[in-house]
Structure 1
C-alpha cells in the first residue's frame, strides 16, 4: 500500500500526505482492512496518524503505544515519533508537517477522515509557510471505499434502562437551541445520536453506536442513514445559522454546508455530550449489572488459568484471550467494547498489548495484565484491568513484582478515595494519583498515560477526562462515569495496571468494578495506615 500511495502522490504532485487511522465517521476503532494507517505501517493501535513523504514515513503515537509501534513496524522504513503527555500526537504531527513543508509544497489530506478542528490546527501550524497548497480528497487512496450501510436491525433501549425517552431528551435540546438562537444543530458524533435516539447497533467494531448523521431543525430530530439523504437535506434546508462540533465533524461535511451557507458556528463544548455524560439512576443500575458480569468474567478467567497451570496444561496468551471472549459470551455479552489485552511476563510493559502470542506459554510466577470489557444487551461499555500472578497461591512473587504492584495499588486507592469537592476536576484526581506513583515507583518504571477516561455508550467517553492536561480541567459532575487506572511500565521487565470504573454519586466516588486484588503481590509494609483501611473496606464489597 505504501508503494501505491507514493505512486498516487507522484501522479498528483504531492510531497507530503497525511494518512489517518479513523474512518468517515471519525470512529476510534476501525477494522484493520479499512484502516489506512495500518495498511501503510502495519501498526494496529487504536490511534496514531502518519506523514508520508517520497522517502520517509513518520508514525505519531502516544505513550500507550510507544513499544507496540516499534515492535509492529519496519523501523528501516517507519520512524516512530513517541509523543509525551504534554501534547497530542496530532499536534506534534502538524508541527512536523510544518517543519517538512518547503515553499510551494503540496500537501494531501483526506477530507472525509479529517475533523474540522484538526484541519484548523493544521492551518495554524502552517500559517508562516509560504504558498502551501492543501489538496483535499474525498476518497482515501490507501483504504478501500466504504460499502453502503447495511441497515441492520437496531436495538431499542427501553425507559427502564435509559431513564429518559427520546422526547424528554429532545425537550432539553430544543430549549438549548432556542436559548442560543440556533436554527440548525448538526450532530455527527455517533454516540450522541445513539444517546438521543435510545438506539444501538452492531455496525462498528467495539462500538454499540450505528452509522448515521443527524440534525435538529425546526424542533425536529432528523436522522440520515445514507450520505445521499444527508446531502439532499443540506442542499434543501434554509437555515440562518448552522451550529456544529468541529471535533466530530469532518472537513468534507463542513465544505458541503459552506456551499449553501456561510453562517457556520463552532460549538466549543457539546451540550448533548454533557447530557450523555450524566447517567440516570436507571443507567447506573443497569451498568452495575453489566460490571458484575464483567467482574465474574475476570474472576473466572483467573481461576481457569490457575487451574490449568496446576494441571500442567499449556496456556498461551492467545488461549487466555480466547477464554476471556468465550466467558463474556457465556455471561450474555453481545460484543467486546475493545480488543482484550492479555499480556504476560515482559509483554505487560506494552500498555495496550492487543496482539496476544499463540506461541508464548504462560508460566506460574508470570505477571498477567488482563484489560477487558464488553457490551451487553443495551449497549453500555464496561472496562476494567487486573494484574495478577499466574499460578495463584502456589506462585511466589519477586520483590520487584511486589514493589511495582503495591506502588500502583497505593496510587489507585488514593484515586478511588479522593476527597471530592464541588470544584473537583479530572485534573485534580490525576495529580493526586500521579504524585503517589512518582513517590513510590521503582527506578526505570514510568506512568505514561492518563489516569482515566469517561465510560458510557463508548468505552472512551468525553466528558469527563482524567489526565494531566488542560482538557481535564473541567468539573466532575454527579452521575459522571469514568475509570481510575494508574500503571507502571518498564521495557524488558514488565508492567502493572489496576483499573476500576467508577461513578460520582452523592458527592462520593462509587465503584462499579468490584473485582479483588492479588494478595500475593501486595507489600503491606508499603501501605500507609489509611491505605490499609481503604483496602479493608474495599475487600468487604469485592466480588469473588
Structure 2
C-alpha cells in the first residue's frame, strides 16, 4: 500500500535526523505499521538503502508474496538475533537504534555485539504515527462508517432479558460480516450501576428493567482501529440521568471546539474537565479526555492536561478520541466518545451518530 511506502520515506529522514545507520523495530505494532504485514514474530531493520523484514517459517512464504519491491526478506531460524546482528554487520552498519521501551531486558542484552553501537529510543516513530496520511484517514473513515452501521443495528437488536455478553456477541459478529478483522478492543457493555465503572468487563448480567446502558466498541478494519462510545437509556430516562448526560454532551462539544492546529492538546482535556468541574462533578471524571488512535487503540498523544503530552501541539492529520465521562459509583455513568481527525486546521468528527440521548 502507498501508506507503507510513505512511512518508509519518513523513517529514512528520521535516520538522518538522529545520525543513525539503521533502526531495528521489534514491536508488533510498528512492524505492522511499516510493512503492512501482521506477524507475531517479526522484526524490521530500516536503513538508508533498504528495509529488511525478518520472520520465521510460519510467515515467510506469505511475506514473500506480499512484500515485494523495496524489501529484503530474511528467514529467521534457530538463532534469530544472531541472524539479525549478522545482517547488520554485513551491511557495515555501525550506529543502530532500537526500541528501548518495547524490548525485554533479555533482548536488550542479546543485542550487544562488538562493532555495533546500539542507541535506545522511546517511541521513536510515535509522532510519525500520530499524523496520518490521506490514505490512512480514508481507511479509518471507512472503519468508522462500518462501526456506525453496527451501532445503528444494535439499537434495534437490544431487548429486555438479553445479557451484556449477547450484545457484545452481536457487535463481534456484525464486525466480521462487514469485513473487519474483529474488535479493536473487547467491547464494554455495561448496564445500570456497571456503567459507573469506566472499564467494566462485559458480563452475563441481564438487561432487565430500566436504566442506562453504556456501549464502548471498536473494530479493527484494514489494520486500523476505531473507538466509539454512547450511553443510551433502556426505558424512560429520569431527570438526574438527563442532567448528567447533558453535562457530558456539552463537555464533549466544548472539547471539540478546542481542536485547532497549533493548540496544545492538553487544552482539549482542560475544556471538558473545567466544564464538568464547574457543574459540580469534577471528582467523577476519572480519566483523560482522549488518546491517539491508529494501528493501536491507544497511541500518542494522550489527550490530558496534566500528562507529559499536554504541551504537544495539535497537527494537521492527527486522529484522536474525545470521550469525557461522569461516573457516580454504585449508581450510573455516562461517557460519549467520538474519533476526531484534524483536517483544514480544525477537528472533524468521523462518526455520523448523533450525541443526542437515545431511549429504547
TM-score band, normalised by shorter chain: 0.7 to 0.9
Is it true that 1:295 corresponds to 2:133 in the alignment? Answer: no
Structure 1: give runs of 5+ residues left out of the alignment.
1-157, 204-209, 522-544
- Pairs within 5 Å for 1:105-124: none
Q: Which residue matches 1:328?
A: 175
- Pairs within 5 Å for 1:362-381: 362-376=207-221, 378-381=222-225
2:231 is matched with which residue: 382, 387, 397? 387
Q: Which residue matches 1:130?
A: none
Q: CA deviation at 1:399?
A: 2.1
Q: Secondary structure at the match of 2:201?
A: coil
- Pairs within 5 Å for 1:381-420: 381-390=225-234, 395-418=235-258, 420=260
Is it true that 1:318 corresponds to 2:318 in the alignment? Answer: no
Q: CA deviation at 1:520?
A: 5.5
TM-score normalised by the chain length of structure 1: 0.58
Q: Secondary structure at the match of 2:225?
A: coil
1:253 is matched with which residue: 100, 107, 111? 107
Q: Secondary structure at the match of 1:404?
A: helix
Is it true that 1:213 corresponds to 2:43 in the alignment? Answer: yes
Higher Cα Rg, which structure: 1
Report Cα offsets for 1:225-251 as digits up to 9, x if no partner: 247333322256334222223212322
Is it true that 1:170 corresponds to 2:43 in the alignment? Answer: no
Q: Which residue matches 1:498?
A: 336
Instruction: Give, in whole Å, the separation in 1 of the partners of 2:103 and 2:175.
Output: 34
Distance 1:491 1:519, change over 3 A: closer
Q: Secondary structure at the match of 1:174?
A: helix
Q: Secondary structure at the match of 1:519?
A: coil
Instruction: Give, in whole Å, the separation in 2 of the partners of 1:418 and 1:367.
Output: 29
Distance 1:419 1:224, change over 3 A: closer
Aligned positions, number: 334
Is it true that 1:187 corresponds to 2:34 in the alignment? Answer: no
Instruction: Give, in whole Å, the separation in 1 of the partners of 2:164 and 2:197.
Output: 13
Is it true that 1:354 corresponds to 2:195 in the alignment? Answer: no
Instruction: Give, in whole Å, the separation in 2 of the partners of 1:372 and 1:449.
Output: 17
Instruction: Give, in whole Å, the separation in 1 of the partners of 2:327 and 2:17.
Output: 49
Q: CA deviation at 1:219?
A: 2.4
Instruction: Give, in whole Å, the separation in 2 of the partners of 1:516 and 1:346.
Output: 24
Q: 4+ runs of 1 displaced by more than 6 Å?
A: none
Q: Which residue matches 2:347?
A: 509
Q: Which residue matches 1:231?
A: 82
Q: CA deviation at 1:518?
A: 4.1
TM-score normalised by the chain length of structure 2: 0.85
Contact 1:404/1:441, CA 8 A, preserved across alignment:
no
Report Cα offsets for 1:372-394 as digits up to 9, x if no partner: 01112x2111110000001xxxx
Cα RMSD after superposing both structures: 2.2
Instruction: Give, in whole Å, the separation in 2 of the partners of 1:419 and 1:375.
Output: 25
Q: CA deviation at 1:453?
A: 0.7
Contact 1:234/1:260, CA 8 A, preserved across alignment:
no
- Pairs within 5 Å for 1:526-537: none
Q: CA deviation at 1:480?
A: 0.8
Q: Which residue matches 2:308?
A: 470
Report Cα offsets for 1:22-75 as digits up to 9, x if no partner: xxxxxxxxxxxxxxxxxxxxxxxxxxxxxxxxxxxxxxxxxxxxxxxxxxxxxx
Instruction: Give, in whole Å, the separation in 2 of the partners of 1:250 and 1:320.
Output: 38
Q: Which has the higher strand share?
A: 2
Distance 1:266 1:229, change over 3 A: closer
Q: CA deviation at 1:259?
A: 4.2
Q: Secondary structure at the match of 2:180?
A: coil
Q: CA deviation at 1:175?
A: 3.2
Structure 2: give runs of 5+ residues left out of the alignment.
57-75
Q: CA deviation at 1:291?
A: 0.6
